[in-house]
Amino acid sequence: MKLSFHGAAREVTGSCHRLEMLDSDGKPHAILFDCGMFQGEHMCGSKNLQAFGFDASAIEAVFISHPHADHTGRLPKLVKEGFRGPIYMVEPCVGLAKLVLEDAYHIMKEEAQKCGSSVLYELEDLEAAFAQVTSVTYHEHVEFAPGITVVFHEAGHVLGSSYISVDAEGQRVVFSGDIGNDDVPILPATEPISHADVVICESTYGHREHEPMSTRSDKLREAIKAIIKERGVLMIPAFSIERTQELLYEINRLLLQDLHTKIPIYLDSPMAIKATALYRHFKQFLKFDTSVMDDPDKDFFSFPNLRETLTVAESKLINDAVPPKIIIAGSGMMSGGRIMHHLIRYLPNKNSRLLIIGYQAQGTIGRRLYEGAKRVRIFGEDVEVHAQVSAIGAFSAHADMNKLTRWLTPEDGKIPRKIFLVHGDPEAKEVFATHLRHALGTEVTVPEYQSSHEI
């Protein structure tokens, strides 16, 4: 068997790994785990435009771990270059992946126009890719070829996230996708791995430990209490998938059980509203704390004080609502989207609060605010910051060093023979590789972009 790495190698985004193997008749096969987009850079001159490093038409199937663009974003490009096989993903992943890719397409198109660069693919390639999607269930045995079986397992990262195992040539290869945090209120736990020989493992936070989950509820409660008292506005910039839904669930629980109040919560992001609708539809794939929510048929993302503002006109009406109020809007890194209008309006107000719950990349307004800037420039306007700015780290959707190590140490006692670390900054991967070599006593490789390895 041979593994090759065509993205997320010594970096976080662009997840795309190729597995070549023989079936029981000795016939060769090639599949991909993920086909994601490189992010954090403009499309102009981007790595996404580079060749894949393999012949797209020679790939027989793609297995998608979860809907995020850095795991799905180059699928239409793959189809454009001649891939005609099935794209496997679990059922709740399909709608979310479509939402993510349509959004990515519009951003890409805008950026390409600005810099006169070519686009990665056209809308018809995106539609063609979805015509090739085959939805599967968790634990279904996909008999891909004689003697080759593929199975999806719960990863606990977002709705519809999986890690994927392939049995072939008498070995089991496991691809982690993204592994979720422990004790996420609305997601099932990550399933343990068993009898893996080789693991391709993400390492986003392989170098650090997260703050405990209880800290996040405390900080959220404190922020809501403060704006109620001061009649202020709480702004929470959020990513549309998973974090928004976790927030809605947590805020609802706090308001109901703890604070006994019903202040309005505005969900002011068309993409988050659409994603939340999918979360409602697939709630059987989620796990709720039913001890506090005793009605089994209750829709955990709808409550009377939640206002979803889909249109621009509805969004503008938020301004007229008398505080206190909570506004959840995109983008998560404050690099665009409706949150920008709320920042202009409420950052100068000392009774307002900005709660940062996600990673803020260098160069974004979010990063500047996170680092304590007293003035920021938004849409050509100087905006003074008098609002209180705070951050919660525990909303990360990724496992930390302890969780990943536990996941790689299965209860059946069989430590993987080889581990390849992907999906992490070089520094995170080196720290985690050293830790794993020491803790598990096994071979750990940090593969180079476009490198191939016999396994």
Residue 153 sits in the site that holds Zn ion (CB under 5 A): no
- The interface mask with Zn ion, positions 49-88, x = CB under 5 A, is -------------------x--------------------
Cα(45)–Cα(48) distance, rounded to whole angstroms?
8
- Piece of 41-49, 125-133, 171-179, 274-282 that binds Zn ion (CB under 5 A): 171-179
Q: Is 210 in the site for Zn ion (CB under 5 A)?
A: no
Q: Of 70 and 308, which CB lies nearer to Zn ion in the complex structure? A: 70
β-strand partners of 164: 152, 175
Minimum distance from residue 434 beta carbon to Zn ion (Å):
24
Least distance to Zn ion, CB of residue 241, Å: 9
CB of 37 to Zn ion, least distance (A): 12
Shortest distance in whole angstroms from residue 455 CB to Zn ion: 24
C-beta closer to Zn ion: residue 125 or 178 = 178
CA distances for 297 relative to 35, 280, 283, 284, 301, angstroms:
37, 11, 10, 11, 12
- Nearest CA among 129, 130, 149 for reference residue 141: 149
Contact 65, 175 (CB under 8 A): yes
Residue type, 331: S
Q: Which CB atom, from 167 or from 242, has the smaller least distance to Zn ion?
A: 242
Q: How far is the CB of 403 from Zn ion (least distance, A)?
A: 15
Q: Which is nearer to Zn ion, 48 or 315 (CB)?
A: 48
Q: Considering the rule CB under 5 A, would residue 178 count as an interface residue with Zn ion? A: yes
Among residues 206, 210, 208, the alpha carbon closest in space to that of 433 is found at 206
Q: CB nearer to Zn ion: give 93 or 356.
A: 93
Least separation in angstroms between residue 178's CB and Zn ion is 4
> Which 252-281 residues touch Zn ion, going by CB under 5 A?
none
68 vs 216, beta carbon nearer Zn ion:
68
Minimum CB–partner distance for residue 180 and Zn ion (Å): 9
Q: Whose Cβ is closer to Zn ion: residue 202's or residue 308's? A: 202
Enumerate the β-bridge partners of residue 453.
3
Q: What is the token pair recorded at 194?
A: 């068993």
Contact code string over 12-51 relative to Zn ion, x by CB under 5 A = ----------------------------------------
What is the nearest approach in angstroms of Zn ion to the Cβ of residue 334?
20
* Residue 243 touches Zn ion, criterion: CB under 5 A: no
Does 154 help bind Zn ion (rule: CB under 5 A)? no
Count of positions on this chain that bind Zn ion (CB under 5 A): 2
Write down the residue that tokens 């479509």 correspond to: 98
Q: Which runs of E-coded beta strand occur in 301-340?
A: 306-308, 325-329
Stretch that binds Zn ion, among 178-186, 207-215, 368-376, 423-431 (CB under 5 A): 178-186
State which residue, 359 or 432, has the beta carbon closest to Zn ion: 359
Measured between alpha carbons, how far is 114 from 372 in angstroms, rounded to an integer?
31
Three-state DSSP class for residue 88: strand
Q: Is 329 in contact with 339 (CB distance < 8 Å)? A: yes
> Of 85 and 424, which CB lies nearer to Zn ion in the complex structure?
424
On whether the CB atoms of residues 240 and 272 are closer than 8 A, the answer is yes
DSSP state of 215: H
Measured distance CA(373)–CA(365) in Å, rounded: 9
Phi-psi region of 375 (alpha: psi -120 to 50; beta: other; left: phi over 0): beta
Segment contacting Zn ion (CB under 5 A): 172-180, 201-209, 331-339, 351-359? Answer: 172-180
Is the peptide bond between 331 and the residue preceding it cis, with omega within 30 degrees of 0?
A: yes
What is the rounded distance in angstroms from the CA atom of residue 163 to the CA atom of residue 199? 10
Residue written as token pair 């609002």: 387
Q: Which is nearer to Zn ion, 178 or 308 (CB)?
A: 178
Minimum Å gap between C-beta 114 and Zn ion is 27
Work out whether strand 148-154 and strand 162-168 pair parallel, antiparallel, or are unpaired: antiparallel
Closer to Zn ion by CB, 93 or 376: give it: 93
**Distance between CA atoms of residues 7 and 448, nearest Å:** 9
Instruction: Please check whether residue 79 is in contact with residue 128, taking contact to mean a CB–CB distance below 8 angstroms.
Output: yes
CB 172, min distance to Zn ion, A: 23
Only segment of 173-181, 193-201, 281-289, 404-412 that touches Zn ion (CB under 5 A): 173-181
Question: Would you say 178 or 400 has its CB closer to Zn ion?
Answer: 178
Judged by CB under 5 A, the stretch of 170-178, 183-191, 227-235, 352-360 that binds Zn ion is 170-178
The DSSP bridge partners found for residue 199 are: 174, 419
Residue among 318, 386, 404 nearest 347 (CA): 386
Quote the least distance from Cβ 310 to Zn ion, whole Å. 25
Distance, CA of 243 to CA of 158 (rounded, Å)? 9
Residues that bind Zn ion (CB under 5 A): 68, 178
